[in-house]
Structure 1
Amino acid sequence: MSDTHRGRHRRRRHRSLRAALTTALTAAAISAGLCAPVAAVPTLPGGLPAGIGDLPTGPLPRVHGPGTAIVILGYGLLPDGTMRPELVNRLRAGYIQALLAPHSPVIVTGGNPRNGVTEAAAMAEWLVGHGLPAHRVHQEPAAATTVQNARRSAQLIRALGVHDAVVVTSEDHIDRAADSFTAAGVSVAATLTPRQIPGFVAVWGP
């Protein structure tokens, strides 16, 4: 398959995933009482998977424009440089947000190299490997703390010319992360954790 055909296939796959995610998130919002069912929700391919009762904690991910960056915070790698499940969960949440905001740049932040691999490099490889265009993914490979995540990401955000950010991390980390980004001068448009992704929506991610 040529690079052109691969690119077309990837774009079609992302459009299909976005449509499925939008439908599933609408169903989640209705189930959670967050919006009124003004029209019938289309059936997802094969019907809704098991887990429809797994409602999210906190606001559902929203659509954002190109002026909003998606910032996914790192988590310590294993000694061999591979990712821990907690980091993969953060990436899955960020990936779903990236599908819903297809023109937003994605920043992955984290240094702390293990076996020659930084958190940012491992995260970028995962996102690109699951179909995000490489030009959307921007690495911040030096931060060793949450404060550094925020400060160094703020520099990237300014360089990219975007005006705010969705901060993605774990539930027990999100408040501290959001405060750090605000202190670094970043306007936080929204926060997102893996627990905000309904179980049956997560099926449509990687």
Structure 2
Amino acid sequence: MVSVWRAAMAVVAMAGLVGSAAQTGQAQVPWPTGVHVEVPSRWTPVVPGAYGPDTAVVILGYGLTPAGTMREELVRRLRVGLLQAALAPLSPIIVTGGNPRSGITEADAMSEWLVANGVAPERILREGRADSTVQNARHTAALMAERGLRGAVLVTSDDHIGRASAAFVAADIAVVGELTPDRVPWFVRPVWVGTFGANSPHPGP
């Protein structure tokens, strides 16, 4: 069993190791046996933070396939969002993205993935109307205002985070954190988030 505390400590330890490797220009890191982590050769690690119930973990969508299935880039975002959710168990999770394919929105697909990986359905807020980054921000801002949420941790891709953060700030959202798959150490098999936190790796998607 993997506790939330052990998961957090593992992230901190990995961040330190990768930061050390990045300074020396080497990408070879002595990971624990059985743990596989993506390590770009040049990488500034970011450790997910611990937040309270007034801060939302906001995962931005990515275009689905014509069949309504998720592309790998969206799964990578979800894995990072799942890790952040494990370290901030009181924070609600907002999945934002419309653009339906085969009747499935990005928000629907993301929500289903999170539930399949152990997140309680009532913790997830779906925003399934947005069809652009600006609309992601505006619709999320309205949803956060309804729930009395004050801050957001944005989860998206590295080449999108700057534009996304600017859009959310313009929508009067306090962006308290920015996470991307390229900046955060994450397990190929992510920790499973149960009702009370992170448990053993889950055999889900």
TM class by shorter chain equals 0.7 to 0.9
- Structure 2, unpaired ranges of 5+: 21-30, 193-205
Alignment of 1:147-166 (within 5 A): 147-166=134-153
Q: Per-residue deviation at 1:17?
A: 4.5
What amino acid is aligned across from residue 150 of structure 1 in structure 2?
A
Correspondence for 1:54 among 27, 39, 52: 39
Question: Which residue in 2 is equivalent to 1:26?
Answer: 12
Question: Which residue in 2 is equivalent to 1:70?
Answer: 57
Q: Per-residue deviation at 1:51?
A: 4.4
**Hey, what's the Cα distance between the residues in 2 that align with 1:79 and 1:143?**
18
Q: Per-residue deviation at 1:64?
A: 1.2
Correspondence for 1:195 among 176, 182, 199: 182
User: Does structure 1 residue 185 correspond to structure 2 residue 163?
Assistant: no
Contact 1:181 1:188 in 2 (8 A): yes
CA 1:135 to 1:53, structure 2 compared with 1: closer, same or farther past 3 Å? closer
Question: Which residue in 2 is equivalent to 1:168?
Answer: 155
Sequence identity (%)? 47
Contact 1:106 1:138 in 2 (8 A): yes
Contact 1:21 1:204 in 2 (8 A): no
Contact 1:61 1:196 in 2 (8 A): no
Say how many residue pairs are matched: 179
What amino acid is aligned across from residue 150 of structure 2 in structure 1?
H
SS of structure 1 residue aligned to 2:153: strand
Please state which structure has a larger fraction of its residues in helix: 1
SS of structure 1 residue aligned to 2:126: strand
**Hey, what's the Cα distance between the residues in 1 that align with 2:38 and 2:126?**
36
**Hey, what's the Cα distance between the residues in 1 that align with 2:76 and 2:163?**
18
CA 1:127 to 1:204, structure 2 compared with 1: closer, same or farther past 3 Å? closer
Alignment of 1:80-119 (within 5 A): 80-119=67-106
- What is the TM-score with the length of structure 1 in the denominator? 0.80
- Structure 1, unpaired ranges of 5+: 1-12, 34-43
Q: Per-residue deviation at 1:57?
A: 2.9
- What is the TM-score with the length of structure 2 in the denominator? 0.80
Contact 1:17 1:204 in 2 (8 A): no
Contact 1:106 1:137 in 2 (8 A): yes
Correspondence for 2:130 among 118, 143, 148: 143
Most deviating of 190-199 and 125-134: 190-199
Deviation readout 1:108-141 (Å, 9 max, x if unpaired): 0000000000000000000011100001100000
Correspondence for 1:205 among 175, 191, 195: 191
CA 1:50 to 1:103, structure 2 compared with 1: closer, same or farther past 3 Å? closer
Contact 2:15 2:46 in 1 (8 A): no
